[in-house]
Amino acid sequence: MKIRDMLHNDTVTLSFEVFPPKREGNVEVLYATIGDLIQCNPNFISVTYGAGGSTRDMTVEIASHIKNEMDQEVLAHLTCVGSTRDDIRRILDDLKDGHLENILALRGDPPKSEGVFIKTEGGFGYANELVEFIVEYDDFCIAVAGYPEKHTEATTMADDIENLKRKVDAGADFIITQLFFINDHFYRFRDLAIARKISVPIIPGIFPLFNYSQISRIGSLCDPDIPSPLLEKLYKVRDKSEEVQKYGTEHAIRQCEDLLKNDVSGLHFCCMNKSDHVLEIIRELSFTGQKADSSDE
Ligand code: FAD
């Protein structure tokens, strides 16, 4: 099923993001984790596409397995990094063969060794070009990335919103945002998008922290604001992973409660291939998939 057909005005989708493990033997562990996650009836599972080619072949394989063997809808991430148009066409063929209907079209992060994104000769320079190519190829449902705190390479927020508009005009059906820890950033971003006549659903990305080292890793990727009281609490318990997870989970619950009161189209959790903390959040939210207004009626 196409995810665009799940996005309705009165409902909130639930989705989980996982990544292909670096070692092949760990795929079974991932499938067991997904088996746990699907207990709370997500609308779809998204599978990331490894930066720089490390795990990218596994994305299609894992996405096909989740769709065809686990009977779950999937959003397969796809990036422009290191691929020509012909390479991308072959991946689209494989996605089609695997009965996959939904793609998150991204420019991609460069491999660590390169540091900056370099367009592959015969490939694409920006995600909007990839969206155009997919639209021409076939009727996939297409998602694109949005950045509540601006993409790190964009000069201004206005430029970044203009880019988002280009991606949506090229044919994107919905937006999933970069992770954030302060909801006001998301609300401001959503207002700017609406003011720029971007009318497709925007799903916020939630990252429940469970390990202190994640803070610097996330910082190097997208540098989100983290509320100082949360940072201070996490610093005090930095060597006690259970306590870090407790504070990270509590924060994510508060964030989601507020988002659900503010008319979001969905909740998308970056699970980091772990289920217990996310299942706790969903339990605490008593998530029904209905927007606050419509369930109150
Ligand atoms: P684009 O939309 O192409 O934008 C890239 C930059 O170029 C932005 O600064 C934009 O403002 C600017 N720009 C765009 N068009 C133009 C133009 N015409 N002229 C000038 N500037 C322009 N990365 C992975 O490698 N694998 C993944 O699986 C993955 N999953 C992700 C999932 C989500 C939900 C998100 C939010 C990000 C994900 N990323 C992933 C990270 C993403 O690839 C990076 O953030 C990347 O740096 C930008 O990708 P994009 O698709 O947003 O790029």
Tens of pLDDT, residue by residue over 57-99, are: 899 999 999 999 999 999 999 999 999 999 999 999 999 999 9
**Ligand 1 lined by 154 (C-beta under 6 Å):** yes
Tens digit of each residue's pLDDT (9 = 90 or more) over 119-142: 999 999 999 999 999 999 999 999
pTM above 0.95, yes or no: yes
Model confidence at 111, pLDDT cuts 50, 70, 90, reads: confident
Give the residue whose CA is nearest to atom 13 of ligand 1: 163
Q: Ligand 1 centre from 273 Cα, in Å?
A: 22
pLDDT band for 22, please (50, 70, 90 cuts): confident
In the predicted model, what is the mean pLDDT of residues 223-238? 97
Report the alpha-carbon angle 84-116-78, nearest 5: 40
Helices (H), the chain: 27-37, 56-68, 85-97, 127-137, 157-169, 183-195, 214-221, 228-236, 241-261, 276-285, 292-296
| Closest to 76 measured CA to CA, from 106, 107, 119 | 106
Tallying the residues shown for the chain, one arrives at 297
Q: Of 106, 153, 206, 218, which is best to mutate to test ligand 1, by the most ligand atoms within 8 angstroms of its C-beta?
A: 106
Encode 119-138: b = buried (16+ Cβ within 10 Å), e = exposed.
ebeebbeebbbbbbbbeeee
Q: Is the pLDDT of residue 245 over 80?
A: yes
Structure tokens at 211: 């390990």
User: Who wins on pLDDT, 53 or 246?
Assistant: 246
Q: With bands split at pLDDT 50, 70 and 90, how would you rate the model's confidence at 295?
A: very low
pLDDT average, residue stretch 176-188: 98
> Could you name the CATH architecture of 3-284?
Alpha-Beta Barrel (3.20)
CB of 82 sitting under 6 A from ligand 1: no
Q: How far is the CA of 81 from the centre of ligand 1 (A)?
A: 11
Q: Decide: 187 and 149 in contact? Cβ < 8 Å.
A: no
In the predicted model, what is the mean pLDDT of residues 180-191?
Answer: 98
Tell me the chain's radius of gyration from C-alpha atoms. Answer: 18
Flag whether pLDDT at 296 surpasses 50.
Answer: no
